[in-house]
Amino acid sequence: MAFIVQQIGIRINMNNIQKEGLAYFCAFILTIPVANWMIGSLGAVCPPKSPCLIPVGFDLMAPSGVLMIGLALVLRDLVQRRLGKKWSLIAICLGGLLSGLVAPPTLVIASAVAFLLSELVDFAVYTPLQEKRLILAVLLSGLVGLFIDSVIFLQLAFGSLDYLPGQILGKFWMVLLALPVIWYIRQRDTKIGIQPT
């Protein structure tokens, strides 16, 4: 990254926290094309004219992109923690644009609208909670965001909520798996005196 930035003549001085934030920002943006690719290409089953599906537990199936979208909800929270609200909103806007650009034509509107609305709701829930209750903020904002994303995406993309329980559960697993990492980050931040931006 530093080499590329140096080659185009931009000088950026970043501390380690900002570098960590940039890594979260890039990972967040990358979840979008990966999710769209997974929906059309990767799954336990890929029925014709339907999304590729994966088992998510309890005999439920969900479109395979749920794993990346669940992760995106957590990464957006980490972008905000490291880089601030402004960069978080920039990430949401870029993500919505990218979602519309890389989604298959039949999913462009569903993907972009669901992404933008769910991430903005995630932002609204996370922001007031994050300073005092980081883990709760990530969990609650993730739950609200994944529900909004699932309902809007399924309804707009397929006109059906058939996969709603699987969508919710698949995204929830990703949020839940991220909580130990969030706990570690919170402990590390407290130990070295880092406050969220």
| Other beta carbons less than 10 A from residue 24's beta carbon | 23
Report the mean per-residue pLDDT for the chain: 88
**pLDDT at residue 107 in the model:** 80
Residue 44 lies in a domain: yes
Residue 10: inside a domain = no
Residue 6 placed within a domain: no
The number of domains in the chain is 1
Q: Is residue 107 part of a domain?
A: yes
Residue 60 is assigned to a structural domain of this protein: yes
Residue 113, domain member (yes or no): yes
Position of tokens 């995106």?
72
Residue 6 confidence (pLDDT)? 52
Amino acid at site 161: L
The pLDDT tens digits of the residues spanning 6-47 come to: 555 545 566 888 999 999 999 999 998 888 888 888 999 998
Q: 143: domain range?
A: 20-192
Per the DSSP assignment, residues forming a β-bridge with 61 are: 55
pLDDT at 83 over 80: yes
Residue 3 is predicted with a pLDDT of 46
CATH code, domain with 136: 1.10.1760
Distance CA 40, CA 71 (A): 18
Tell me which residue of 14, 12, 19, 21 sits closest to 196, measured CA to CA.
21
Residue 12 lies in a domain: no
Query: Does residue 2 sit within a domain?
Result: no
Of the ranges 94-103, 110-119, 136-145, which one carries the lowest mean pLDDT score? Answer: 94-103
Query: What is the Cα 123 distance to its own chain's centre?
Result: 11
pLDDT of residue 39: 85
Strand partners, 45: 53
Whether 85 shows a pLDDT value over 50: the answer reads yes
Cβ proximity of 31 and 71 under 8 Å = yes
Reported confidence tier of residue 82, pLDDT bands at 50, 70, 90: very high
Is the predicted pLDDT of residue 4 greater than 60, yes or no? no
